[in-house]
Amino acid sequence: MTKQVTKMLLSGNEAFARGVLEAGVDVAAAYPGTPSTEIMETIAHFGKDTGMHAEWSINEKIAFEVALGASWSGLRSFTAAKHVGLNVAADPFFTAALFGGMKGGFVMVIADDPSFHSSQNEQDTRMYALAAHAICMEPSTPQEALDMVKYAYEFSEKWESMVVIRSTTRLSHSRGPVTIGEIPKKETHKGEFIKNPAKFVCLPGNARRTKPLLLAKMDEIQEYSNKSQWNVVEKGKDPLLVITSGVSYLYVKDAVQEMGIDPTIYKIGISNPMPEGKIIELLKEHPECLIAEEVEPYFELQVKALVAENGINVKIYGRKEKVIPISNELNPLILKEALSKVLKKKFEAVGEGLPTQAEINEQLPNRPPELCAGCPHRSTFYAIKKAARKRQIKPIMPGDIGCYTLGFMAPLNAVDTTVAMGA
């Protein structure tokens, strides 16, 4: 990842990291968790010669607070976590969103995990951003991941607000060609915290004064969002409108190309605040609208509210309508089936007539995940079970989130409950 190279094949996580390095970030802190881990690993490896402070913190809350303190001191800062990691950082997250005051840009990447690839739930980070009145952006490709991070720092400093960038497993772990820029050379320098108790002390009186200012700022950002470069209209000839974001946009593009149809596609890159003005304008021009998004019906619920409030005559299809499955990640085939339902026209499905995944699985040997060779957790579980046999007891064995959760599988059978980190 040297500056002499102009194009590289990068994963989404590597592209996020490259964006952080090219943005000249001073402080980066994170806690590992799939699918976000490689972001900080890449930053730590390639950022050591840039003068950046990079650390693995003891949890996501501490990582967030390290980055927040740096930002309040005029340093560009970064943090990353998987979606459930934002639960751990939720307390300072909501307060920081309210009080703002970011003198140095503060950007965080939160990687959601549709389809539970390595997580205990499906969460949608956009819902956190909506509740906290925080700016949220969604890239679709590794190239956008890099470019959006760099842009987000300018955006954060302009509005003195943190910016949340939502990734998903498919974006974080897929690869694509990325045009890169230079990583600036700079010396390590200390930030300067300028005392301002009215801004940085979250007393109820300060919060009451700050909340209307935050809401007014989000209204301004929403006006900007209506014409932002990240919210792109691709005009089509067909009467159908498709609203989408993130990797779902790529699935939509694949589906419409294979089906030979030409709907208007609105790809939203700034998902909070949502570009309501532009959406209303597009809804008035189309009789039907399909909303393609992953996890929660975030756009769908807000778009339906806009339709009701503005008396727009348009039919909305999405997850709530069960035109698109209510859970799990999307793919081009799901989008083709959804478009077929909306258009009331049968299209040949990709792979039609081929064995189903369930039929294929029956023919494959079962290879469940297991603890690595030499993993010390295996010895721990063995010692616990050996002690239990010696005492002739059958203890209840609560587990924790991590590799050691695999202790629940045979032959160990040593984990009875798993809820969350520390539970």
Residue 66, CA distances (Å) to 22, 207, 407 in order: 20, 22, 33
pLDDT value, residue 371:
87
| pLDDT, tens digit, 9 for 90 and up, residues 26-69 | 999 999 999 999 999 999 999 888 889 999 999 999 999 999 99
pLDDT value, residue 171:
98
Contact status, residue 31 vs residue 82, Cβ threshold 8 Å? no
pLDDT value, residue 346:
79
Contact status, residue 63 vs residue 29, Cβ threshold 8 Å? yes
pLDDT value, residue 263:
98
Torsion, Cα 24 26 31 37, to 10 degrees, reads 20
Nearest to 244 by CA among 346, 338, 384: 338
pLDDT value, residue 362:
86
What are the φ and ψ backbone dihedral angles of 196, each rounded to 5 degrees? -155, 80
Q: What is the pTM of this model?
A: 0.93
Contacts (Cβ under 8 Å, ≥6 apart) of 200: 72, 99, 101
Q: pLDDT truncated to tens, each residue of the chain (423 aa)?
A: 545 679 999 999 999 999 999 999 999 999 999 999 999 999 999 988 888 999 999 999 999 999 999 999 999 999 999 999 999 999 999 999 999 999 999 999 999 999 999 899 999 999 999 999 999 999 999 999 999 999 999 999 999 999 999 999 999 999 999 999 999 887 777 899 999 999 899 999 999 999 999 999 999 999 999 999 999 999 999 999 999 999 999 999 999 999 999 999 999 999 999 999 999 999 999 999 999 999 999 999 999 999 999 999 999 999 998 999 999 999 999 999 999 999 998 776 655 677 877 888 888 888 888 888 889 999 999 999 999 999 999 999 998 888 888 888 888 889 999 888 877
- The Cα 247–Cα 402 span in angstroms is 27
Contact status, residue 320 vs residue 295, Cβ threshold 8 Å? no
Nearest to 323 by CA among 356, 291, 283, 286: 291
Q: Which two tokens stand for residue 404?
A: 């050691």
Please give the full DSSP string across 362-384, using - where no structure is assigned: HHSPP----PPTT-HHHHHHHHH
